[in-house]
Each structure stands twice: as structure tokens, then as C-alpha cells.
Structure 1
Amino acid sequence: MLAAMRTFELSPADRFTFAQRAAVLSAAYADYFVPLWVNAQQMEAMDQIYDVDARRSVVAHAGREPIGMALLSLRGPRGWISAVGVIPAWRRRGAARAMLRRLLENAAQLGLDEVWLEVIEENAPAAALYRELGFSAARELLTWRYPADGDLLPIPRELLQPAPVERALAHFAAWHGQPPSWQREEPTLRHLAARSSAYELWMEDALAGYCVVGERPDAISILDIGLNPDFGPVKAGRTLLQALAHRFRGRAFTMINVPADDDLSRALAALRFTVTIRQWEMRLPIIAR
């Protein structure tokens, strides 16, 4: 029925329930390079964690049925397009372009300075659309993984000590060589504080680094690593990662969207973490449009 209809409309995402939005997002990403399935509760959590403005986000719909969605997150003068997806039956009909144009119109009306997004390197059609709309590549982001059955990393003398997430994040601004991507920014981590754990690394009687992680029985998501520049980020990074692997032996590790030329990427590579996803972070200056 939906495929037979020729037109769609755009409406603010806050006019749809979390269940409706979760269903269309899951359907749109089911055959993506990295499939995504979310339920209503997870959809609501995404809004909160990434500061999605549902009023300025948009759902494309044929009649009353959602056929696509694009989400706009807001932090100060910056925006981030946190998701764009169209269900298979409605692709190549202009829905993605129309939704993105609406988001950029909303961004301009809000007076934002810039809008950011990421695109997986293999997704050439999406990258071409973003360039057509004025986005340009800013840097490459890497997702790193270490398997649960990987070789045991050397055990350092320095071991991690549990710490409150708030105490660890007090060093966030000073202990990153490059600005983290939106998913790893300080506001994201603070939204996740109740669902995550933090650990500190002490070397030579001084705090050398910290990590914030999400713990599951089979895997550890490394949400953030902050490294004291006084210790050398590669040395401190390697030691912290070794201590983390020792603490959670037998679990897989992942860390998303680390800048390719960041010292942390060099530390991950030195310990034989492998790159599973490459993305381009893209930027559009709104004022210059």
C-alpha cells in the first residue's frame, strides 16, 4: 500500500510516539552497513543522551504511516544530524533530501553556527548527498575493537582504581588531544553517568588518565579515555588500555569514533586493536550558506 503511494509529507518528529519513531528507524537501518534495532524505550533514551530536539527533527510519512526520519541534536550554537533513514520501499524518491533540507532550514532559523554529521566510508550515495547540500569532510573517525578471545595483553604494574564518573570527567576538557565526536562529548558522557563506570590510572603517584566504560557480561564499551599530557598520551594510553584489558579479561572491547590521527588511535593500534568501521565526520557552516 505504501509503495503504491507517490507522495509523502514532512512533520515534526514530536508528533509521533517513541514507538512509531523506533519502528521507522529500525526499518530504515535494518539493511544498513551497521544494522540498528531500537524499541520505544531506547528511542526515548537516544533523545536524552544525544540532546535530540524532536520538535526540530522530522518524520516523513505517507498518510499516517512514517516512511523515514531525520534527527537533529542541539548543543549551544552547534547541531548534529544524529540519524537519517528511509525505509527500503521509499528510497530514491527524494525523502532523505527533503528531510535534510528541512533540518538545515530549522538549523538556520535557530541561528546555529554549524551542523555536523558522520557517514560510513562505504556509503557513497549518502556522502554524495551530503556534499550536494554543502557538507565537507572534516576528519576521519575510527571504531576500534579487541576480541574477547584475543591474545592477552601485557599486564602493567599500574592497575585501575574505581572512581566516580563525575570525578573522572572533571579532567575532560584538559585531557583530550582533539575535540571528541558528538557521541563522546562531555554532555553525552554526563547523560550516561548513571549507566556507566569510571576508573583511574595512577602512575608515579600521580593521576595519569581515566576511562569511562559501559559494562556488559560479554563486552566493554569504552565511552571515553582522558590522558594526562604530562605522561605522554601514547604511553599513558597503552598502559591504561592494558590495565583495562586485565581488569575485564575475557570480554570484547569496542571504542567508537576515535579521530584517526589522535594519539589514542596510535595507542589502540599498538595493542593490536583492529578498525571495524571508518567514518567521515562532515561539517556545514550555517552562517556561510
Structure 2
Amino acid sequence: MSNIRVTTLEHISREDLTDSWNRCWQGYYYNMTYMPDHLRVWLYLSQVSLQHSCAIYDEDKVVGFSLLSMDRSDGWVAGTCIDPDFRRQGLFASLMRTQLNLATRIGLRHVYLEVLEQNHALKVYQSVGFTITRPLNIYRAEKVRNFSDRSFEAYFLEPISVEQYFESRRSSFFQPSWQRREEYLRRYRNCLAVMNLAGTAGALFAGENNVPLLDVWSATAAGAEEVISTVLSQVNTPFSLTNQPEDWIVAYLSAQGIRPSAKQFEMCVSLT
């Protein structure tokens, strides 16, 4: 442990960061492997600030990291993990405390993160001050043919501008998770936005072929049925949705027997 030091990732190369990312995520619940170009895109979408992200070094090797994104006075831990060979040594809590101290110094008021409900890291986050704000549901690559005993009615969803989409979503009082915030979603190119005729529900796709589904919201039960049943009626289209809070969308999916493949907790710590 004498060679351990904590510093920022400001000067790390993309290749070294990719290597550290892939090595530290080994043994996680999902395959988190990235190629350098994939990591570059993810870093851009997440707007990770490497100069404000912390890392644990064993000599010149990154053995743990915490990647920090910022949105005005809020921060988000976009990814954090420890090399499997260095786990259960108390390094994770120390890393998170260092990250939060840095977030405080640069003037952030809140820091958010998401953690799978079965992840033991949940206890570490709680020990350094994070509290659970709400559960989030994850649906991964479900296909309508998996629910062939049910039929889904396709309603008319009107294509609208991205500006109209976010204006309507704001008025619906939908509270998105970090990766569904307006600033985050606007970094995707060539998005297709649709809304029902009543203006009470909408969906945003990353491309004209309606995949992937980036965001969906509804202010009413009827709107949830319109938008989700129309999405599910596209038989050859995978259904994948990230970090959906408990709302009308989740209620409609549940009524159709479509359960989340995983659940996360959104957590937040106040630094003020």
C-alpha cells in the first residue's frame, strides 16, 4: 500500500483510460468493455471532466477511478470502480471521499449517481453521505415477440421538433435521471422526437429508424398507453429503456407483464 496515491485523471491518455476502464470493471454484473472510440463517444455524451475526476494509482497503474460530470451546480459520478486485485482494502471509500472533497472545492452543491440495487457499493456510498432519492427501472433489449400472447395497438404519434419535445416534457413535470436530462440528450445527433395528439406523452429516438429509445415520458395513464404501445407494436424493434422512474410509463409496462431487467437506486449527496 505504500505506493498508493490519489490524483486526478487530467493527463491520462484515452488508450490508458480505456485499459484502466476495462480492467477495473472486470467481474461486474454486465459487460462494461469499451474500445477506445466507444469510450470517446461515451465520455463526450457524459461530458466527463477528467481534470475533476479522481484516480487511485499504484505507482503508474490506475487501480481505481471516479469519473465526474458536471451540469451547472450539480455533479454526477458517471462511473467508479476498483481493480479486482485491489478490492476489499478500504480504497473505494477513500476514493469517494476524495472525489466529494474535490466536488466541494469546485463549488458543486449536489452530486448524483446510480447504483444497481444488488451492488455492495451501495453501502460504501451511504457511508460517505449519499442517500437514496428514488428507484429507477432498466429495460434491456426486450422484443415484442417475447410477449406474443398480447397485442399492442399502434396510435398516431406526431413527429415534432426536439425543441417542442423538451418544452412539452418540461411542462409535464417529468423529473429525468442524469442520463435523461435535457443537456445530456441534446448531445445525440439526428434525434427523432414524437408526441401524441393530446400533447401529454412523447418519446425521443436516436435516429430515424426509432432505435434506440433514448427517452419517454407521459403525464397521464392514457398517454403512457399511446406512446408505449406504439413503440411495442414495432415487432422487429428491440425495446430498451434506461433509468425510468416509477411513473405512468412503468405502470403501463407492468400492466402488460413487462418487468424491468434490473433496478437501480438514484442517490444524491448535498455538499452545502
Q: TM-score, normalised by structure 1?
A: 0.85
1:174 corresponds to 2:166:
no
1:98 corresponds to 2:94:
yes
Q: Out of 237, 247, 250, which is 2:224 matched to?
A: 237
Give 1:22 deviation, angstroms: 1.8
Are the aligned partners of 1:144 and 1:268 in contact in 2 as well (CA < 8 Å)?
A: no
Q: Distance in 2 between matches of 1:242 and 1:157?
A: 6
Q: Distance in 2 between matches of 1:157 and 1:122?
A: 36
Q: Out of 195, 209, 212, which is 2:201 matched to?
A: 209
Q: Out of 258, 262, 266, which is 2:244 matched to?
A: 258
Q: Out of 234, 259, 262, which is 1:274 matched to?
A: 259
Tell me the secondary structure at the aligned position of residue 206 of structure 2.
Answer: strand
Give 1:94 deviation, angstroms: 3.0
**Cross-structure match for 1:141:** 136
Amino acid at match of 2:267: M
Instruction: Name stretches of at least 5 consecutive residues in structure 1 with no aligned partner.
Output: none
Are the aligned partners of 1:116 and 1:283 in contact in 2 as well (CA < 8 Å)?
A: yes
Aligned length: 270
- Structure 1 residues 114 and 136, CA gap change in structure 2 (3 angstroms): same
Give 1:190 deviation, angstroms: 0.5
**Cross-structure match for 2:161:** 164
Larger CA deviation: 7-16 vs 82-91: 7-16
Are the aligned partners of 2:192 and 2:208 in contact in 1 as well (CA < 8 Å)?
A: no
Amino acid at match of 2:238: A
Give 1:236 deviation, angstroms: 0.6
Deviations 1:63-110 (A, max 9, x none): 222222111111111111111111211112233222211210111101
Q: Distance in 2 between matches of 1:284 and 1:190?
A: 26
Larger CA deviation: 69-78 vs 142-151: 142-151
**Cross-structure match for 1:111:** 107
Give 1:281 deviation, angstroms: 1.1
Are the aligned partners of 2:201 and 2:217 in contact in 1 as well (CA < 8 Å)?
A: yes
Amino acid at match of 1:135: F
Are the aligned partners of 2:144 and 2:232 in contact in 1 as well (CA < 8 Å)?
A: no
Q: Out of 173, 185, 192, which is 1:189 matched to?
A: 185
1:130 corresponds to 2:125:
yes
Q: Distance in 1 between matches of 2:256 and 2:11?
A: 47
**Cross-structure match for 1:285:** 270
Deviations 1:24-63 (A, max 9, x none): 1122223111221112222222222122211110222222
Q: Out of 3, 6, 15, which is 1:19 matched to?
A: 15
Q: Percent identity?
A: 21
**Cross-structure match for 1:224:** 215
Q: Distance in 2 between matches of 1:271 and 1:135?
A: 34
Are the aligned partners of 1:176 and 1:226 in contact in 2 as well (CA < 8 Å)?
A: no
Are the aligned partners of 1:160 and 1:244 in contact in 2 as well (CA < 8 Å)?
A: no
Larger CA deviation: 101-110 vs 268-277: 268-277
Give 1:163 deviation, angstroms: 3.4
Q: Distance in 2 between matches of 1:149 and 1:31?
A: 31
Tell me the secondary structure at the aligned position of residue 93 of structure 1.
Answer: coil
- Structure 1 residues 105 and 195, CA gap change in structure 2 (3 angstroms): farther
Q: Distance in 2 between matches of 1:20 and 1:94?
A: 24
